């Protein structure tokens, strides 16, 4: 990301493009989200300008690690001045809403895809909360529930129906097994729970399928409306 910013490949928007590309990698890997907090923007700009002039990457990289990544914790390495990455699965990727309902997905990209599906289906996507667990630990959900008044939980975990082990033999449907296990657990704790199983492997693939179907149907819709394809 930082190297792309410094290379200035485009006339404008280099920082935004580099951060979007970096977040695509981070989110897909479930490794948090890159963002510069408002209170750190001035320092970020100053250090970035220093990096542009000097080319010294380490100070800028350390600043990003310390201040600009949500969803990870960095612990000191004993005997050194450095930090090491430690994934803390109790910090969810969270798209905040105003209701007492939360949609629970495995990864940030699935949570964002759930938002897109709600919008495409004409629903008020801003009403509900959307979080990701970072795979199949419910630590992030526990933290979320401790901080947000919630009555309803919808589990939208992956559909691993066709999962296999490395040798090609069939594997369990881990995502759905976890979804129903969590639903049972949180029902017993007094929450209203349900499971929405993706038609494809995950919510993101469902969104991609819907978009392809919409694009393929568009010429027919235009012909029906206008009498010809535009």
H or E element, residue 4: helix 2-7
Q: Positive or negative CA dihedral for 211, 216, 218, 221?
A: negative
The widest CA-to-CA distance across the chain, in whole angstroms, is: 74
Q: Tens-digit pLDDT profile for the chain (230 aa)?
A: 787 787 777 777 778 888 888 877 776 666 667 878 777 888 888 888 888 888 888 888 888 877 787 755 444 444 444 444 445 567 778 888 899 999 999 988 888 889 989 988 899 988 999 998 877 889 989 999 999 999 999 999 999 988 888 888 888 999 999 999 999 999 999 999 999 999 999 998 998 888 888 777 666 555 555 555 55
Quick one: residue 183, left, alpha or beta (phi over 0 = left, psi -120 to 50 = alpha)? Answer: alpha
Contact status, residue 4 vs residue 14, Cβ threshold 8 Å: yes
Contact 158, 119 (CB under 8 A): no
Q: What is the pTM of this model?
A: 0.61
Query: Could you tell me which of 108, 198, 112, 120 has the C-alpha nearest to residue 162?
Result: 198
Which tens digits make up the pLDDT trace of 13-36? 778 888 888 877 776 666 667 878
């Amino acid at each position: 990301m930082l190297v792309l910013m410094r290379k200035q490949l485009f006339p404008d928007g280099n920082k935004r493009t580099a951060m979007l590309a970096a977040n695509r990698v981070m989110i897909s890997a479930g490794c948090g989200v890159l963002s510069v907090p408002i209170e750190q923007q001035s320092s970020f700009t100053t250090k970035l300008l220093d990096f542009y002039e000097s080319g010294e990457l380490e100070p800028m990289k350390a600043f990003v690690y310390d201040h600009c990544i949500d969803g990870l914790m960095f612990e000191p390495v004993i005997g050194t001045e450095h930090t090491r990455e430690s994934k803390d699965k109790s910090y969810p990727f969270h798209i905040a809403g105003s209701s007492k309902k939360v949609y629970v997905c495995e990864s940030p990209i699935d949570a964002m895809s759930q938002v897109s599906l709600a919008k495409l289906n004409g629903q008020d996507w801003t009403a509900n909360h959307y979080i990701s667990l970072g795979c199949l630990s419910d630590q992030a959900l526990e933290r979320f529930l401790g901080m947000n008044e919630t009555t309803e939980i919808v589990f939208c975990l992956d559909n691993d129906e066709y999962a296999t082990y490395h040798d090609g033999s069939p594997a369990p449907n881990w995502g759905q097994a976890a979804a129903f296990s969590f639903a049972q657990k949180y029902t017993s704790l007094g929450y209203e729970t349900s499971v929405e199983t993706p038609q494809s492997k995950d919510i993101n693939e469902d969104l991609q399928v819907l978009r392809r179907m919409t694009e393929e149907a568009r010429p027919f819709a235009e012909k029906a409306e206008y009498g010809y394809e535009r």
